[in-house]
Amino acid sequence: MMPTIRRLTDSCLVVTTDDGATLIDPGFHTFDTGEIELDSIGDIRRVLVTHEHGDHVNPAFVRWLLDRGEDVTVHANQAVVDLLAEHEIAASSLPPRRRVAARRTSSMSGFPREPSLQTGAGRSTT
């Protein structure tokens, strides 16, 4: 499936990939104005919120997304996590888990090795 990006209103986007749909910045413009039919959004697996301004996060909209979806996760910075907690909505400030494609990198012994992690100044940890 080719990834798609659909702008709903203002700063609210839905990004759809093989791994499901992610709604970015569920603000009041999308939820309260009636500009879009909310049921047209589709199934959302993840919600990402960039910051705590009302045009980027509306707790009622986040609650609506959580209530209608199964296993929906919310990811945001700590300020948004704290804001949503005031509305009894769980969110994580950790980055969403992502699938990492295995990278075939041969070691001197001929066996595949783990991809190296980069540290400062380009030094590898492996």
**Neighbour tally for 107: CB within 10 Å:** 10
**What residues does each domain of the chain span?**
4-96
pLDDT, position 123 = 43
Percent of the chain at pLDDT above 90? 50
Q: Does domain 4-96 have CATH number 3.60.15.10?
A: yes
Exposure of 1 in the CB half-sphere (CA atoms within 13 A): 10
As a dihedral over the C-alpha atoms of residue 55, residue 60, residue 64, residue 65, rounded to 10 degrees, the angle is 40
pLDDT, position 104 = 41
Q: Which value, in Å, is the radius of gyration of the alpha carbons in the chain?
A: 19
Max avg pLDDT among 5-14, 32-41, 88-97: 5-14
Q: What is the C-alpha separation between 93 and 114, in angstroms, rounded?
A: 27
Q: Which residues of 13-27 are buried (b: 16+ CB within 10 A; e: fewer)?
A: bbebeeeebbbbbbb
pLDDT tens, 33-60?
Answer: 888 888 888 899 999 999 999 889 999 9
Confidence of residue 98 (pLDDT cuts 50, 70, 90): low
The pTM (predicted TM-score) of the whole model is 0.72
Q: What is the mean pLDDT of the chain?
A: 80
